Every structure is written in structure tokens, then in C-alpha cells.
Amino acid sequence: GQNIDQPTEMTATEGAIVQINCTYQTSGFNGLFWYQQHAGEAPTFLSYNVLDGLEEKGRFSSFLSRSKGYSYLLLKELQMKDSASYLCAVRLYYGNNRLAFGKGNQVVVIP
């Protein structure tokens, strides 16, 4: 089985930096994804980590530590449009590399 944990909600101010954590306990870890989902819309891909370390992509960065079963997504220079749910997902070796999701972290950006 697998267990993927994320905090449920956080509020942050426009222009600030927010860190969204994800911890996982899975068998057959084979990569971690972050997705953004605005209310009523489909999830859209943000980042992918398979090796330890930081991946940077503009205002978004994602970090992975496989030994700790831990990842975070860092959002810098927050904008109002960043208000969304952020989903952490683990790709699993077994079951033909299926994708298992956490419950998502709702980020609310306030002026």
C-alpha cells in the first residue's frame, strides 16, 4: 500500500514565498510529481523529481529526499492566480508505474 500526506490548507500573502510539504510511505517509489489544480479544472503538471535535490522552474521549485520520503514545492513571488490546490503524486514501480495522489493542499493567496 501507499500513504501520501499533505497539509490540507494554507493561506499566504501576495508576493510571499510558500512551501508545500508532502511526505510519502510507498513501496516501489519511482518518481514524484507536483500538479496544480484550479477549482473546477483539470490538474496541470508543474514538476517532476526522481533523484534527490532541487529542481527549479521559474517561480516554482521542487525538492526531493528519497531517504526521508519527503518532498516540497516552493512557490515564490506569490500571485493571486496561484490560489489553487497543489497535488503531490508518486509514481510506483509496481502496477506498471501507476500514479498515486495525495489529497492535495489548498493554497489561498490574499492581497
Partner 1 sequence: DVKVTQSSRYLVKRTGEKVFLECVQDMDHENMFWYRQDPGLGLRLIYFSYDVKMKEKGDIPEGYSVSREKKERFSLILESASTNQTSMYLCASSRGQAYTEAFFGQGTRLTVV
Q: Counting contacts by CB under 8 A, is residue 38 touching partner 1?
A: no
Taking CB under 8 A as the criterion, the residue among 64, 84, 87, 90 binding partner 1 is: 87
Alpha-carbon distance values, 54 to 22, 60, 111 (Å): 14, 10, 29
Q: How far apart are CA 110 and CA 82, in angstroms?
A: 10
Taking CB under 8 A as the criterion, the residue among 9, 14, 41, 52 binding partner 1 is: 41
User: For partner 1, which is the closer residue by CB, 33 or 72?
Assistant: 33
Q: Counting contacts by CB under 8 A, is residue 56 touching partner 1?
A: no
**CA neighbor of 4 nearest in space, from 20, 26, 19:** 26
Q: Counting contacts by CB under 8 A, is residue 63 touching partner 1?
A: no
Task: Work out how close the CB of 78 gets to partner 1 at its nearest, in angstroms, rounded to a whole number.
Answer: 23
**CA neighbor of 85 nearest in space, from 110, 108, 62:** 108
In the three-class reduction of DSSP (H, G, I as helix; E, B as strand; rest coil), residue 81 is classed as helix
Taking CB under 8 A as the criterion, the residue among 20, 24, 43, 64 binding partner 1 is: 43
